[in-house]
Amino acid sequence: MCLLLAAAGAPAAGAPVAGTPAAGDPAAGTSAYATNSPVPSAGPLVIKKEGNKFGLVNERGKQVLPPRYDSLQYTRHNEHYIAYMRQAGSKQQAGLINAKGKELIPIRFARVSPISPSRYAVTDHQKKVALFNEFGEAKTPFAFDEITAFFGKLARFYQNGRAGVLDTDGTIRLEAQYQDVIIHSDQTVDALPLRKWAITDGNNKLLYTLQYDSIRPLGEDRWAATTRFYDSVGRPTTMTALTDASGSMLIPYRAMKLDAYQEGVARVEEKGRFGLLDLKGNYVLPAEWDSLGVAQGTVVAGMRIGGNWYWHLFDLKGNKLSRHTYQNIIPLAEGLLPAKREGRWGYIDASGQETLLCRYDTTFAFTGELARVRYNGLEGVINKEGLWQIRPFAEHITIIDPYRFVARLKQEYQLLNEKGEVLYSTPYVLKPILGGIAEINPSRQWGLLDLNGKRLTPTEYDWISDVQEATMFFAVKEGKKEF
């Protein structure tokens, strides 16, 4: 769809849809209305830093505006500057000042972005955007998700993930009903309609029709609706909303990533931090964790402060279960969870109880009723009561099943039974495969043993497969397959 938007009056029909952004459109590059250059683009005043504050001096270095701002940014208007200040205990505030320090746009907003020589996109602390002129007059309410840089007298804006067009007076010239719009130099606009998605049941019966740029099922009748638009300086931004199966929006569009729901909760990532949402889109845990995983009906969450990690275990309602603060907790789909406290490793269960005290060098996931652990620099095998099945003596131990183990020592490999007795030893590598043990010499020739250490083949093959059809192995020798 192509529309011609005149300086005043209703839009008129124009040419067919164009496929690519025109030069100068925000989609084609970043805005040229703001600069962080140390030299102003025009005008005699220069931003100067003294200590941790910024002010203005003239071309002779004489102070014009005292250094009282946390940051100053040039604009294309010779005597207007975007100023940032932080009050004690508050978030950084942004506004627009002139060269005398008069606040044209009060310094109380989250962000001020120049989008033309005389227009600014102002973002409040609820992340809504309004259009202001150079005199600090609001031309629109705070009703937009974003307004991009003007191209001529028109700019693209976004509401609820949909694109529209407004002019420099703040008048909406094209309602936000499109996946995206492209503004051309002759002020014609190409509009790309939203996609329609048909949601059906298992019998291919139509349940709902949704209009979104892109949707992704999250499970439990929840969907992630994703759209891509451009911010005030033309950078592409992906925004996501949470909807139910009927398309009703539970969380409006914002910069976040949603994982699939499991057990009524979903992990959310915002600004590189992780949190947890319930089915209504409410936070179970705020997005303030550096790592977060759901396992066994619990939530494992870790936060890094300085160089240290602090880990806790929560239930799916956000209640803390762990009695201690841990240096690490490993989320696993089943079994006890390896946990580190005061430099030592142990195990906790899904209720947060430390079932095996943190006294080991390292702990690993349980395989059935057994787990390998490292203690005093050597590996052994314990059961869920913490009793030694095989005392620490090896560099590495592989648990084949509850009755067989392969141990790697400095000079040899050993095949062990459940009592730790040696069934077979060799200076060559022992590699467990399904149905047996492969022995591999330094020439990379393979041989085969059964699980009792009995030799089944000499060590002369290029490769031996896992067991096939209960009793058969495939072997390759000099490029030929044998059985």
| Six-digit token string for 479 | 């490029």
Q: Under DSSP, is residue 302 helix (H, G, I), strand (E, B) or coil?
A: strand
Average pLDDT over residues 439-452: 95
Q: Where along the chain do its domains lie?
A: 2-192, 195-289
pLDDT tens-digit profile of 235-286?
A: 777 889 999 988 888 998 888 999 999 999 999 999 999 999 999 999 999 9
Which residues partner with 331 through β-bridges? none
Contact 70, 92 (CB under 8 A): yes
Rounded Cα distance, 206 and 208, in Å: 6
pLDDT at 280: 96
**What is the total residue count of the chain?**
483
pLDDT tens-digit profile of 27-38?
A: 333 344 444 444
pLDDT at 151: 92
Rounded Cα distance, 173 and 151, in Å: 14
Vertex 419 angle, CA 413 and 425, to 5°: 20
Rounded Cα distance, 56 and 47, in Å: 5
Mean of the per-residue pLDDT values of the chain:
87
Q: Under DSSP, is residue 26 helix (H, G, I), strand (E, B) or coil?
A: helix
Average pLDDT over residues 396-402: 97
Average pLDDT over residues 150-172: 93
pLDDT at 87: 75
Which residue's entry shows tokens 């492969």? 438
pLDDT tens-digit profile of 348-391?
A: 999 999 999 999 999 999 999 999 999 999 999 999 999 999 99
pLDDT at 245: 84
pLDDT at 336: 96
pLDDT tens-digit profile of 405-436?
A: 999 999 999 999 999 999 999 999 999 999 99
pLDDT tens-digit profile of 188-202?
A: 999 888 877 777 777
* Residue 92 reports pLDDT greater than 60: yes
Contact 178, 191 (CB under 8 A): yes
pLDDT tens-digit profile of 282-298?
A: 999 999 999 999 999 99
Which residue's entry shows tokens 């020739």? 445
pLDDT band at 481 (very low <50, low <70, confident <90, very high): low
Per-residue DSSP letter, 144: B
Q: Compute how many other C-beta atoms are within 10 angstroms of the C-beta atom of residue 167.
A: 19
Residue 350 Cα distances to 3, 167, 294, 310, 481, angstroms: 60, 57, 11, 18, 48
pLDDT at 59: 86
* Residue 184 reports pLDDT greater than 70: yes
Contact 90, 107 (CB under 8 A): no
pLDDT tens-digit profile of 201-222?
A: 778 887 777 777 788 999 999 9
| Six-digit token string for 79 | 């005597």
Side chain identity at residue 165, one-letter code: V
pLDDT at 483: 53
Tell me if the pTM is above 0.95. Answer: no
User: Cβ neighbours of residue 337 under 8 Å, at least 6 residues apart?
Assistant: 295, 296, 300, 313, 329, 330, 331, 347, 348, 349, 350
